[in-house]
Chain A
Amino acid sequence: MLKPEAVLRAIAAVRGDAVCVPTMTTAPAWREIAPGDLSVACVGFMGGASALGLGLALACPERRVLVFDGDGSLLMQLGSLATIAAAAPRNLTHFVFKNGVYHTSGGQEIPGGLRVDFVAMARGAGYRDACAIADLDELRRRLSALLSAEGPILVELLTGLAETTPMTAGLGAPFHEQAEALRRRLAAARAEAVAR
């Protein structure tokens, strides 16, 4: 079983200029690991991370977009798997941190608990690829490929509970501030690319 913080550190080490979309229990840890960078947390509309990531991936086809989803969160907008597959963003890697519970709201089991198979669901929806990883060494070995292969790709990560949640660590900057900051950075990067 993976530690969420170790997963995020491993991703941070190789993600380059990818835009990242954490949500729920990945958000506080990601704030610590990658402060003030190309990220926007899905805060205030639980379940929206996958679709938010899709919009970013369609808007920024030249850049990788990584979604750090939760299992309970994804269940809230499970149809987004089909929406993402149909839109077929080649630059999207969708990580699902699967711990079997709604950690933020007190640890209640999600419907189906750990039996829910997001890999099968993603494949059935039409993702280009999907896999499950439960070992940190395997994740490190495969991470570069998962961040560069043609998407959409879903990676189900079997994890324990994060050390913090938005309830214990706070929500961080409100969504509108994060969104505006990322929007400016992406616009500046586009302007720089045109100038070159």
Chain B
Amino acid sequence: MPEPIPAALVVDALKDVFLEARGGRPCAPLGWVLSVPDTHQRTVLAALDGERAIRVVTCATEDEAVAVAAGLWIGGEPSVLMIQHAGLYASVNALRGVGLDGRVPLVYLIGLLGREPDRDPRASRHSMVRYCEPLLETFGVPAARLEGPADLPRIAEYFRLAHARRGPVALLVGLPTC
């Protein structure tokens, strides 16, 4: 069964990832979170409000968030995107044009709002949950589930993967963070 991940642990994981991306050299900000607010990750976003090491840019759409991430990457700045599954569906052209054809490392943290704890997401009653992994597979986007605190090392692992393969990766947040 999945279990909620404490927001503070996610924030710490992001800091570690950004610091590693900078070769261990601290700077301000360490990295960027591009967010179209996600119900599932709201405690993380709340925790980031008081976090000076990570700058959050709230975007009006996921398309924008992807393009901002591209600009940051070109300029040498690390970022992750925090969105909801519906936002992934809304921004498929940006995923294709920027992440796949554009070969920009994009690290998505995607909240699976509506995911039932006792069901595999692919068997969810909710189409937005059910189609998320198949959509990512269709586009060849590596994805992993964040189902509890034990999965947090996957953030760093997939961040490295995105930059190594120059493309998008996705981490699916199964339950609301706490």
Contact = CB atoms under 8 A, between A and B. Distances in A.
B103 A176 contact: yes
A82 B73 CA distance: 22
A14 to B, nearest CB: 22
Interface string A158-185: 0000000000000000111001101100
A130 interface: no
Q: Which residue among A50, A58, A77, A190 has the maximum number of chain B CB atoms within 10 Å of its CB?
A: A58
B57 A175 contact: no
A47 B63 contact: yes
Contact of A56 (B59, B64, B74, B93): B74
A53 interface: yes
Interface stretch (B94-102, B139-147, B168-176): B94-102
Contacts of B61: 77, 79-80
B73 A52 contact: no
Interface in B58-78: 58-61, 63-77
A51 interface: yes
Contacts of B76: 59, 183, 186-187, 190
B102 A58 contact: no
B104 A179 contact: yes
Contacts of B72: 55-56, 58-59
Interface of A is mostly: helix
B142 to A, nearest CB: 18
Nearest to A45: B97
A54 interface: yes
A40 interface: yes
A33 interface: no
A58 B76 CA distance: 10
Contacts of A59: 71-72, 74-77
B94 A45 contact: yes
A79 B101 contact: no
Contacts of B65: 51
A60 B72 CA distance: 8
B32 interface: yes
A87 interface: yes
20 contacts: A45-B67, A47-B63, A48-B67, A50-B67, A51-B67, A52-B71, A55-B68, A57-B71, A58-B71, A79-B64, A83-B64, A176-B101, A176-B166, A179-B73, A179-B102, A182-B74, A183-B73, A186-B75, A186-B76, A190-B76
Given A45-B98, A58-B68, A174-B101, 16 more contacts: A45-B67, A45-B94, A45-B97, A48-B67, A53-B71, A55-B75, A58-B71, A77-B64, A79-B61, A79-B64, A86-B58, A183-B73, A183-B76, A186-B75, A186-B76, A190-B76
